[in-house]
Amino acid sequence: MIEVFDDFTTTLTKSTVVILDNASYHKSKKFKAEISKWSNRGLTLLYLPPYSPQLNIIEILWKFMKYYWIEHTAYLSYDNLLKYVKKIFNNYGTGEDEYFINFNTLKEELVDIKLLTYKSI
């Protein structure tokens, strides 16, 4: 992970913000030891609050898959579930209304989050 950020920061041409979840490798001593170097290259790191699935786009996608798009019969077997997941991934974002997330409808959830409370390290 450190090598990825090292490489990424050498390509920066303007100030850049990266938002991180709280994965252990984002909080490790080795990772934190590199932050000042990356900051000098124009990178600012912001961490999501400890539990914030409403701010993590992949969590929103999983929520829609689990509660809205995958039928109960998908869970009858691994093959069924795989078929449903592939169908969603193949059709997500293709303009079909069946697998579409309108983030404007999620706006009320996000407004309740105080974005200024994020901590930059």
pLDDT tens digits along 11-50: 999 999 998 887 888 889 999 999 999 999 999 998 887 7
Residue 75 resides in a domain: yes
Minimal CA–CA distance to 57: which of 93, 16, 86?
93
Residues 73 and 35 in one domain: no
Full-model pTM: 0.50
37 and 18 housed in the same domain: yes
Residue 117 located in a structural domain: no
Residue 75 domain boundaries: 53-111
Q: For the chain, where are the alpha helices, taking DSSP H only?
A: 2-10, 24-27, 29-40, 57-64, 78-91, 107-111
Does 62 map to a domain?
A: yes
46 beta partners: 19, 120
Number of domains in the chain: 2
Q: Could you tell me if 105 and 63 lie in one domain? A: yes
Judgement on whether residues 57 and 41 belong to the same structural domain of the protein: no
**pLDDT for 71-119, tens place per residue?**
888 889 999 999 988 888 888 877 666 777 766 655 555 444 444 334 4
